[in-house]
Structure 1
Amino acid sequence: MAFARARRTQRTIDYWPGFVDALSTMLLVIIFLLSVFMMAQFFLAREVTGKDTALTKLNHQIEELTSLLALERAGKAEAESNVASLSATLDTAQKDKSKLQSLIDANGAGSAAADARVTAAQQQIDAEKQVSARALAQVEILNQQISALRRQLAALEDALSASESRDRESQAKIADLGSRLNVALAQKVQELSRYRSDFFGRLREILGDRPGVRVVGDRFVFQSEVLFDTGQAALNPAGKTELDKLASALTELEREIPPEIPWVMRVDGHTDKRPIQSAQFHSNWELSSARAIAVVQYLISKGVSPQRLVAAGFGEFQPIDQADNEDAYRRNRRIELKLTEK
C-alpha cells in the first residue's frame, strides 16, 4: 500500500510551470508593443513641437513687421500733410509772385527779394517730395516682406497638415503591425505547442514507463539517480543510454520544426535542500549547474545542435515537494527538459 501511494504522488501533474511560462510570453509581447508605441509617439511629438516653435517665431516676426508698417504709414501721413502744407505755401508764394510781378512792372525795386522767396519755397517743396517718395518706397518694401512671410506661413501650415496626416497613417500602420505581430506570435506559439506535444509523446514511447522518468506538465523529468551517481556530475552508463534515446528524438525534431520557429531545449538541474559536503562542489548551485551542463554536452556529442540547447542550474530553490523526508528529497533531485521559445 505504501508503494501505491508513492506512485500516485510521483504521477501528480503540476500545471503551474506551464502557466507561468505562458504568462511570461504574453508579458514580453505586451512590453514590446508598448515600447514600439511609445517610441512612435515620442518622435511624432518632437516633430510637432518643432513645427509649433517655428510657427510661433514667424508670428512674432509678423507682429514686428506690422508695427513697423504702422509707423511707416504714420510717417507717410505726416509727409503727405507736409506736402499739402507746402502746396498751400506754394500757392501763396505763386500769389505773392503775381503780386510781386505786378509791383515789378510798377517798380523794378525789390524784384530780387521776391525771386529769392519763390526759389526757397520751391526748394522746400522738392525736399518734402523726396522725403515722401522714400517713405512710399519703404512701405512698398515692407508690404513685399509681409507677403513673403505670409507665403512662408501658408507653406508651414501645409507642411503641418501633411505631417498630421502622416502621423495618422503611421499610427494606423503601427496598430496594424501590432495586430499582425500578435497573430504571428500566436501562430508560432501554437506551432511550438504542437511540436512540443508530439515530441514528449514520442519521448514517452521511446523511454517507456520506467521508474525515475516522468512527464510533469510541459516538462520531461529524469530523477538524478537515473543519470548520475550520488553527489556526482559525471553521467553514468545507464544515464548515457537514456540520453542516447533523447538525442535521437531531438535530432529528428530539429529536422521537423521549421527554421523560423525560435525554439530551444532547456535542461534544468535541481537538487534537494540538504547542503552538499564535497570537495568538488561547494554548493548545490554548482552541482545542479554541472549536471545540466553535462547533459547538454553529451547531447551535443550525439549530434544535437548547440544552438538548440540551454543549461540552467537551480540548486535547491525550485522544489516540487516541500516535505522533509527521503521520498521528497529524491523527487526534488532531478533533471528537467523543457521545449520552449528562445
Structure 2
Amino acid sequence: MALGRNRRRERGVDYWPGFVDALSTLLLAIMFLLTVFVVAQFILGREISGKDEVLNRLNSQIAELTQLLALEKSGKQDLEDTLAALQSSLASSESERSRLQELLDSGAGTADAANAKVGRLTEELDAEKQVSARAMSQIELLNQQIAALRAQIAAVEEALQASEAKDQASQTRIADLGRRLNVALAQRVQELNRYRSDFFGRLREILSDRENIRIVGDRFVFQSEVLFPVGGADLDAAGQAEMDKLAAAVLELAEEIPSEINWVLRVDGHTDASPLTGTGRYRDNWELSSARATSVVKYLISRGVPANRLVAAGFGEFQPIAEGETPEVLSQNRRIELKLTER
C-alpha cells in the first residue's frame, strides 16, 4: 500500500511555478511597453511644441511682411498722387507760358489800340467841356428862376398868415356861436320840459288820476287793459274815450308850444312776456305791440292831432318795467307809454 501511494505522487505534475514565471514575464513586457509609450509621448510632445513655436514665428513674420506690403502700397499711391500733381502743375505752367507768349506777340497791336483810345477819349473830353459850359448857363438860368420862386413863396406865406388870422377869428366866432347855440338848446329843452310838465299835469287832471294810468319818469303810462281787449289791438269804447281826452290835451298843447320847437308825441307799445300762439291775427308780441301803438296814433290823427307830431314804436316784451311772472307783474308790463320829446 505504501508503494502504491508513492507511485501516485510521482505521477502528479506541479504547474504553479511555470505559471508564475509566465505571469512575471508578461508583466515585465507590459511595463516595457508602457515605458516605451511614455518616452514616445514625451518625444512627440516636444516635437509638437517645437513645431507650434516655429509656426507662431512664421505667422508673426507673415504679419510683419503684410504690414510692410501695405506700407509699400501706400507709399506707391502717394508717389502716384505726387506725380499726377506735378504733371498737372507742368501742364498749367505750359498753358501759362503759351498765354504769356501770345500776349507778348500781341503787345505791338495793343499799343496801337491804346493810342487810338487816348485820341478818342480826348475828343470825348472836349465834348464834355462843351456840355459843361452849356450846363453852367442853364444853372445860371435856374438860379434866376429860383429867386423868382422864392419871391412868390414869400408872397404866398404872407397871404397864408393873413388867412390864418382870418381863420382864427372865424374859429373864435364859431366857438361863440356854439356857446350861444348850446344856451339856446338848453333853453329849448327847458321850455320843452316845462310844456311836458304842463302836458302831464293836464293829462292827470283830465284822466282823474286813475290807478291804471300813471306817470313813470318822463312817460305817461296807460295799462293795455284800459285801451284794448285781451290779445287785440283795436281800441275799445273805453279806450277811445281815454284817447279823446288825450287828443284834446295834445291839441291844446300844440297851440301853446312855439313853432320853432320841433316836438313829437311818441307812442310806445309794450307787451308782457307771455308768447302768442301764432295762429291768431298777430304772430308774436312784436307785431301786437307795434299794432297797438299804431292804433293809438291813427285814432289821435282821426281826432285832429297833426300826424307829423306823432311817432309809433313797438317793443314787444323786451323792455319790462317789472320783473316776474305773477299776474300783477304781467299786467304792469302790458302798457302804452306816451312821451313828449324833440324830433
Same fold (TM over 0.5): yes
What displacement does 1:310 show?
A: 0.3
What displacement does 1:143 show?
A: 7.0
What displacement does 1:171 show?
A: 2.2
SS of match in other structure, 2:290: helix
**Residue segments in structure 1 that go unaligned for 5+ positions in a row:** 1-133
1:90-105 alignment to 2 at 5 Å?
Answer: none
Query: Which residue of structure 1 aligns with residue 295 of structure 2?
Result: 294
SS of match in other structure, 2:186: helix
Query: Which residue of structure 2 aligns with residue 150 of structure 1?
Result: 150
What displacement does 1:177 show?
A: 2.3
- Tell me the TM-score normalized by structure 2: 0.57
Query: Please, what is the CA RMSD of the aligned residues?
Result: 2.2
Distance 1:281 1:136, change over 3 A: closer
Query: Which residue of structure 1 aligns with residue 246 of structure 2?
Result: 246
Query: Which residue of structure 2 aligns with residue 45 of structure 1?
Result: none
After TM superposition, which residue ranges in structure 1, 4 or more long, deviate above 4 angstroms?
134-144
> Residue deviations 1:115-135, cap 9 Å, x none?
xxxxxxxxxxxxxxxxxxx99
1:56-205 alignment to 2 at 5 Å?
Answer: 145-205=145-205
Distance 1:238 1:155, change over 3 A: same
Query: Which residue of structure 2 aligns with residue 257 of structure 1?
Result: 257
What displacement does 1:265 show?
A: 0.3
Distance 1:140 1:204, change over 3 A: same
Query: Which residue of structure 1 aligns with residue 234 of structure 2?
Result: 234
Higher relative contact order at CA 8 Å, sep ≥6: structure 1 or structure 2? 1
Distance 1:144 1:291, change over 3 A: same
Distance 1:268 1:135, change over 3 A: closer
The answer on 1:305 being equivalent to 2:320 is: no
What displacement does 1:137 show?
A: 9.8
SS of match in other structure, 1:267: strand
What displacement does 1:290 show?
A: 0.1
Residues in 2 aligned to 1:332 and 1:168: alpha-carbon distance in whole angstroms: 55
What displacement does 1:192 show?
A: 0.1
> Residue deviations 1:207-255, cap 9 Å, x none?
1022311111111111100000000001000100010000001011111
Please tell me the residue identity of whatever aligns with 1:172: T
**Residue segments in structure 2 that go unaligned for 5+ positions in a row:** 1-133
Residues in 2 aligned to 1:239 and 1:259: alpha-carbon distance in whole angstroms: 30
SS of match in other structure, 1:310: strand
What displacement does 1:145 show?
A: 3.8
- Tell me the TM-score normalized by structure 1: 0.58
Query: Which residue of structure 2 aligns with residue 281 of structure 1?
Result: 282
SS of match in other structure, 1:340: strand
